[in-house]
Structure 1
Amino acid sequence: MADRTSSSTTIRAAQADIMAVIADLEAYPDWASGIRSFEVTETGDDGRARRARMTFEGGPISDTVGLAYTWEGDDAVRWELVEPGAVVTGLHGAYTLTPAGDAETEVTYELAVDVRVPMIGMVRRKGEKRIIDSALKGLKRHIEG
C-alpha cells in the first residue's frame, strides 16, 4: 500500500458527537459527496460497523467495495479493503479525533487508494486529497450546519 495522504480540520463539536456522525455509515450519502450508498453488513458488540459495502462515484472512478472497520472508542476509526471492486484494489483510511479546545475537535482524515489502472503517484495523491478535503468539508458542514 502506498503512502497515505492526510488533511485535518477543526469542527465546533464534541469528539463523541463527531464520531457518532462518522459511525453512521449509512447516512454518508446525505453529506459525503461521491458516496452513493453504504450498507453495513456486520456490526460489533458496540453497535458500530465491522464490515460494510460502499458504492461511490469519484470522477473517472466509480466502484463498489467491501470494507472492514476497527474502532478505537471516540478517538479513531480505521478501515481497510476486504472486497476489492472492479477498479479499487487497495484502500486504507482513518479518521482520528483529538480535542482542540472548548467544544472543538481536530479531525484528521488519512487515505491511501490503489487502483487497477496505472496511475502516476502524484495524480493518485491529488485524487486522494480531493476525496479527503471533500469529506472533511462535508462532515464539518453537516455537524456545524
Structure 2
Amino acid sequence: MPRSRKTERDRRRSPSAARHADTIRLALMETAPAGLKKPRLMVVTELSGSQIVRGLAAYRELAGEKQWPPLVWSWEEGYHFCEDADELEAWERQWAEVKYTQISSVITGVLDPHERLFPKSRWLAYVIAQMNAIQSALDMIAHPQPQ
C-alpha cells in the first residue's frame, strides 16, 4: 500500500521541529500585527538559529493542517502573519521567482553538461522535460500575463 504524502512528511518532521513551530507561532501572535526579524525571534523564543530554521519549515508544513495564519517574511517587518491578499500574492510571486532561478541554475549547471556527456540517456531526457515544465510553471506564477 503506498504511503500518503502527509504521512511521509510527518515522518520526516521531528517532534522538536513541530514544537519549535508552535513556539514561533506563539511568539508572533504576541507581536502581531508587527513581526520579528530572526535575531529578535531567537531572543524571544530562546531558540537557536538552526532551531528557528527548522521551526519555520515545520510551520509552513503545519499551517494548512492546523489552520494557522500564513507566515511570510519581508525586509521591513521580518517574519509576520499576513492576511492581506496583495501582500501574499507579492510574496508568492517572489518565492516563485527564486525557485525559477534555482531551477534555471540546475538546468544550466548540471543537466546541460550531463546531457553533453550522455546525449542518449532516457533518464536525463525525462528529467530535463520535467524540470523545463516546472520552470515554465514557476515563470507563469512569477510573471503572470495581464488580464
Q: TM-score, length-normalised on structure 1?
A: 0.23
User: Could you say which structure has the higher helix fraction?
Assistant: 2
| Higher RCO (CA 8 Å, separation ≥ 6 residues) | 1
Q: Which has the larger radius of gyration?
A: 2
